[in-house]
Structure 1
Amino acid sequence: MRLRAALLAASQIMVPVTGAMATTITGPYVDIGGGYDLTQTQHVHDYDRQRLNDINNTYLKGAPSSVTSAFDKGIDPGLHERQQVRHGDGWTGFGAFGWGFGNGLRAEVEGVYNWSDLSSISATTGDPKGHRMHGRTDGSDRSYGGFVNVLYDIDLKRLFDIDVPVTPFVGVGAGYLWQNVSGITTLQHTISQHGTNGSFAYQGIVGAAYDIPGVAGLQMTTEYRMIGQVESFDMGTINQSYSGPLGRDTTHLRYDQRFNHQFIVGVRYAFNTAPPPPPPAPAIVPAAPVASRTYLVFFDWDGAALTGRAREIVTEAAQASTHVQTTRIEVNGYTDSSAAHPGPRGEKYNLDLSLRRADSVKAELIRDGVAASAIDIHGYGEAHPLVPTGPGTREPQNRRVEIILH
């Protein structure tokens, strides 16, 4: 029993203790998130020939010809005005549907919406002195559209033997975004910008997913994104309306590249992620059966006293009982078929003699340190001889005591 308990304990100790492994997505998943958006300052260009004609017809009307000529020579033929549009705080939101290939790679289609406050506009006019104006803007800037993203989940357990419920990921995406501008700025005059312009967009993604305990496939995500919009391939129009002392006009604006920096928190759910199987139950290794060990002690005819050699054998059995798993010691006494008192009394005499021989061995075992409660004695007389003989035969090997360690 002690051996069995020890084997069971050892098997439990050897079962590896595993942590919560990070989720590798296989199959469909959905992802939503939102967070803070910071849009870099954008540069805007305004080219308008009609505006020059309006200035000539309004501001220079009735002026001496020398003044008109001087102004005409110094002004940009297209009255090129350059602006810097500054954005304030903003926010972003997205939703995506994707597919995990089970090896870390994922592909997804994503819709995104960004909003930011327009804080101010600085303008440099196209006149000879290049006047610079700055005014606070009331309005907002929006961009919306879609991306196709390719991402890779970094398996920390497989690559670096780090067993944590966190999966870093990186990705890139390409798509198309529309930019909608609506704002009013007061410089030396009132400028109103409004309209929508679309262009090709791209993004880079760096983030990490954290497994939510108890819900298979559910993860919280944090990520940083940089979104860029190119100047070319643009579609649509953003108009600028001017109202001031020189009259009114409407021009077309061209926004250059746009960059958004975003810090996002989201939730992702993978549909085909089954809960990990429970760890296997510790295997209970049954104790191997231990064969009984038997020691034979022989006696003189009609005697129950131990000889010197018999004492050595008893001592050996006593020592063995302390080194081998022993639950019980059986001591059985026997005689041969002869008897000191022949006749009907002989069988009863031999039975008593076998029991006295067993008692002698038990007493010697106790002197050698074996507990008396662990020893069972029996006397079998002439029964179970080692060497079969006829009645009244003296046979030394049948005059014995068997010590059996169970």
Structure 2
Amino acid sequence: MRRCSALLAAAVLAGCATPPAPPRAYVALLENADGSTGRVVYRGPSGTAELRQPREAVALDGPATPFTLSPAQLQRDAGAAMAAQPRPPRVFVLYFDAGNAQMTASSQALLADILADVKSRATADMSIIGHTDTVGGAEQNAALALRRAEQVGQMLKEAIAAAQQVEITSHGETNLLVPTPDETPEPRNRRVEVTVR
């Protein structure tokens, strides 16, 4: 009888030690692709909760008390949705010499990476946007930036053929990476940005 009581007590204690199952509907904070985490402020009928840690969650239909999801629970509840997300866009920045459409050698080395990224996606869209620094007139710089973007497009013919949609445009000197006064030669502004998504 004593042994039976001990087993019953152990079973009751084990039942108390099991954490409650997470609610069926909740908001959870996940890590970004780079490992960083933002924050979420949830306001609902039963209060407000601030989520700051990865996998921290709050029930949509219960008390506004944060709890932490186990990796296994998150996988069970949202694994399929997370796996179905498209890959994040990737931006490649190619730099150019002053006043012309000659790409730097280090930027030319990135062309193979761009092609590989396009081919690694089931479907890919590309944007190729040319930029200049502020040396010269606005119209002249718009034309030079477009010439740079079109040249990159020619160098990436194979990637363009594999992409679903490609947009080649010029921002000239209107979208500076490094803000400068007019007539300032800034190498980081002489660029073409290739975004693959």
User: TM-score, normalized by length of structure 2?
Assistant: 0.54
| Aligned residue identity for 1:389 | T
Give the conservation status (yes or no) of the 8 Å contact 2:114–2:159: no
SS in 2 for 1:385: coil
| Aligned residue identity for 2:144 | L
Distance in 2 of aligned mates of 1:396 and 1:326: 33
Q: Deviations over 1:126-159 (max 9, x none)?
A: xxxxxxxxxxxxxxxxxxxxxxxxxxxxxxxxxx
2:147 counterpart of 1:350: no
Q: 1:303 aligns with which of 100, 103, 116?
A: 100
Structure of greater relative contact order (alpha carbons < 8 Å, 6+ residues apart) = 2
Distance in 2 of aligned mates of 1:377 and 1:307: 20
SS in 2 for 1:370: helix
Distance in 2 of aligned mates of 1:293 and 1:369: 14
The answer to which structure has the higher helix fraction is 2
Q: 2:117 aligns with which of 295, 304, 320?
A: 320
Where does residue 389 of structure 1 map in the other structure?
A: 180
Where does residue 333 of structure 1 map in the other structure?
A: 130
Distance in 1 of aligned mates of 2:188 and 2:112: 20
Instruction: State how 1:264-279 maps to structure 2 within 5 Å.
Output: none
2:161 counterpart of 1:364: no
Deviation of the 1:319 alpha carbon: 1.1
The answer to which structure has the higher strand fraction is 1
Q: Unaligned 5+ residue runs, structure 1?
A: 1-282, 340-345
Distance in 2 of aligned mates of 1:378 and 1:331: 6
Give the conservation status (yes or no) of the 8 Å contact 1:306–1:360: no
Where does residue 377 of structure 1 map in the other structure?
A: 168
Q: 1:402 aligns with which of 187, 193, 197?
A: 193
Give the conservation status (yes or no) of the 8 Å contact 1:326–1:405: no
Q: Deviations over 1:5-46 (max 9, x none)?
A: xxxxxxxxxxxxxxxxxxxxxxxxxxxxxxxxxxxxxxxxxx
| Aligned residue identity for 1:378 | T
Deviation of the 1:373 alpha carbon: 6.1
Deviation of the 1:327 alpha carbon: 2.5
Deviation of the 1:324 alpha carbon: 3.0
- Summarize the Cα distance change of 1:326–1:384 in structure 2 as closer, same or farther, 3 Å threshold: farther
Q: 2:87 aligns with which of 290, 294, 297?
A: 290
Where does residue 19 of structure 2 map in the other structure?
A: none
Where does residue 30 of structure 2 map in the other structure?
A: none
Count of residue correspondences? 117
Distance in 2 of aligned mates of 1:284 and 1:291: 17
- Summarize the Cα distance change of 1:405–1:326 in structure 2 as closer, same or farther, 3 Å threshold: farther
Where does residue 39 of structure 2 map in the other structure?
A: none
Alignment RMSD: 2.1
| Aligned residue identity for 1:290 | R
| % identity of equivalent residues | 32
SS in 1 for 2:109: helix
| Aligned residue identity for 2:188 | Q
Distance in 2 of aligned mates of 1:289 and 1:315: 22
Where does residue 158 of structure 1 map in the other structure?
A: none
Give the conservation status (yes or no) of the 8 Å contact 1:300–1:396: yes
Distance in 1 of aligned mates of 2:149 and 2:80: 38
Structure 1 stretches of 4+ with a deviation exceeding 4 A read none
Instruction: State how 1:210-225 maps to structure 2 within 5 Å.
Output: none
Give the conservation status (yes or no) of the 8 Å contact 2:118–2:159: no
| Aligned residue identity for 1:397 | R
User: TM-score, normalized by length of structure 1?
Assistant: 0.27
Question: Which structure has the larger Rg over C-alpha atoms?
Answer: 1
Distance in 1 of aligned mates of 2:121 and 2:96: 27
Distance in 2 of aligned mates of 1:376 and 1:316: 19
Deviation of the 1:394 alpha carbon: 0.6
- Summarize the Cα distance change of 1:395–1:326 in structure 2 as closer, same or farther, 3 Å threshold: farther
Instruction: State how 1:44-193 maps to structure 2 within 5 Å.
Output: none
| Aligned residue identity for 1:299 | F
Give the conservation status (yes or no) of the 8 Å contact 1:335–1:353: yes
